[in-house]
Structure 1
Amino acid sequence: MKQSAMGAAMRQGVGVALVAASFMCMPEFASAQAVPEKAIRARQSSYYLMGQEMTRINAMLKGDLAFDKSTLETSAEAVELIGRIVVDYYPAGSDRGTTKAKPEIWKETPRFRQLAQALQSESVKLKAAVHAGDRDAIRAAYGATSKSCKACHDAYRAQ
C-alpha cells in the first residue's frame, strides 16, 4: 500500500473510531446509572469542539488566519452538526455533577429547546454561507450564530 493511501486509511480508521466512541457516550447507549456522567462529558466535549471551530472561523474572518474555504467548510459543518445533536445530551439527572448547566434547563425545557433550535437554524445558515464563499455573508451568519450561542449561555450556563 502506498504511503499516502496507508495514511488515508489510517485517518479513516481513526475517524470511524472517534465516531463510534462518540456514539458510545450518547445517553441511549449508556447504562442507566452512567447516563448523567456520560451526558455531561459528551456535551462538554461537544461544546469545546464547537468553540474551537467557531474560534477558527472568527480568526479567518478577522485575518488572523489565512482564509481557507475548505477549512471553513469543515468548521461550519462541525458547528452545524454539534448544534443539531448536543441538545440531546441533557437527560434527566445530568444537572448533577461537574457541569455549568443551570437547573433551569430542566425546569424550562421548552424555552431551552427554543434557544437550541435558534442555534441549529443559525448554524445551518452559517454552513450555507461558507459553502457559497461570500465573506460578507459568512460574517453575518457567523455573528448570528454567535448571538444564538450567547443567548443560551446567558440564560442557562453558570459562569
Structure 2
Amino acid sequence: MNVKALAMVTALSAGALLSMPASAQFAKPEDAIKYRQGSLFVLGQHFSRLGGMAQGKIPFDAKAAQENADVVAYMAKLPWAGFGPGTEKGAPNKSKPDIWLEPEKFKEHADKFEAESAKLAAAAKTGTLEALKAAFGPTANTCKSCHDAYRSK
C-alpha cells in the first residue's frame, strides 16, 4: 500500500471515528489511551520522514514530502480526543498528570501543533526543500515543547 492510499484509509477511518461523540468513541479509558497512542504513532512516522528530508538524512522528494505533510496536518487533529477525563489511568502511558491539571495549557500546545502542521503542509505544497525546512523547525518545536511539559521520559 503506498503512502497516498494509507493516508486515505487513515483519513477515512479517523473521519468515521470523529463523527461520533467522544463519549461514544471510547467504551473504556484504555481504548482512549490506545487511540491517542496509535494516532501519535502514525503522526510520528510521517513527521519523521519529513524530518529526514529537512535534515538531509534522506533525499528530498517533493511528492513524498507533500503526501507526508498532508497526513501530519490531518493527524495533528486526532489524538486530543484520547486525552479525556479518566484517561490518565487504565493502560501504561507516558502522559504527565499536568495534562489533566492544566487542560487549557495542554490545549494551547495542541492548537499550536495543529496550526504549525497546517503551515508545514502548505510549505510542502511549494515543492521546495527550503520551504519544508523553514516550516519543519517551528513544527518540531511545538512537539518538543509539549513533550517537555506533558510527556514523561
* Shorter-normalised TM range: 0.7 to 0.9
One-letter amino acid of the structure 2 residue matched with residue 122 of structure 1:
E
Q: Could you tell me how far apart the structure 2 residues matched to 1:45 and 1:22 are?
A: 15
- Contact 1:104–1:156, Cα closer than 8 Å, also in 2: yes
Q: Which has the larger radius of gyration?
A: 1
The corresponding residue for 1:155 is: 149
| 1:98 shift after superposition | 0.8
Of 50, 71, 77 in structure 2, the residue corresponding to residue 78 of structure 1 is 71
State the TM-score, normalized to the length of structure 2. 0.83
- What secondary structure does 2:125 align onto? helix
Of 117, 137, 142 in structure 2, the residue corresponding to residue 143 of structure 1 is 137
One-letter amino acid of the structure 2 residue matched with residue 110 of structure 1:
E
- Contact 2:63–2:127, Cα closer than 8 Å, also in 1: no
List per-residue Cα deviations over 1:111-141 (Å, max 9, x = no partner): 0000111101110110000001232221121
One-letter amino acid of the structure 2 residue matched with residue 140 of structure 1:
A
Question: Which structure shows the bigger proportion of residues in helix conformation?
Answer: 1
Correspondence list, 1:43-58, <5 A: 43-58=36-51
| 1:31 shift after superposition | 5.3
> Closer, same or farther in 2 for the Cα pair 1:71/1:31, shift >3 Å?
closer
One-letter amino acid of the structure 2 residue matched with residue 53 of structure 1:
H
Q: Which has the higher contact order (CA 8 A, sep 6+)?
A: 2
Of 130, 133, 136 in structure 1, the residue corresponding to residue 124 of structure 2 is 130
Q: Could you tell me how far apart the structure 1 residues matched to 2:63 and 2:23 are?
A: 33
Q: Could you tell me how far apart the structure 1 residues matched to 2:50 and 2:66 are?
A: 9
2:88 maps to 1:95: yes
- What secondary structure does 1:93 align onto? coil
One-letter amino acid of the structure 1 residue matched with residue 101 of structure 2:
K
One-letter amino acid of the structure 2 residue matched with residue 66 of structure 1:
P
Which structure 1 segments of 5+ residues have no match? 1-6
- What secondary structure does 1:84 align onto? coil
Which structure 2 segments of 5+ residues have no match? none
Of 37, 47, 60 in structure 2, the residue corresponding to residue 67 of structure 1 is 60
The corresponding residue for 1:104 is: 98
Q: CA RMSD in A?
A: 2.9
Residue identity (%): 33
One-letter amino acid of the structure 1 residue matched with residue 112 of structure 2:
A
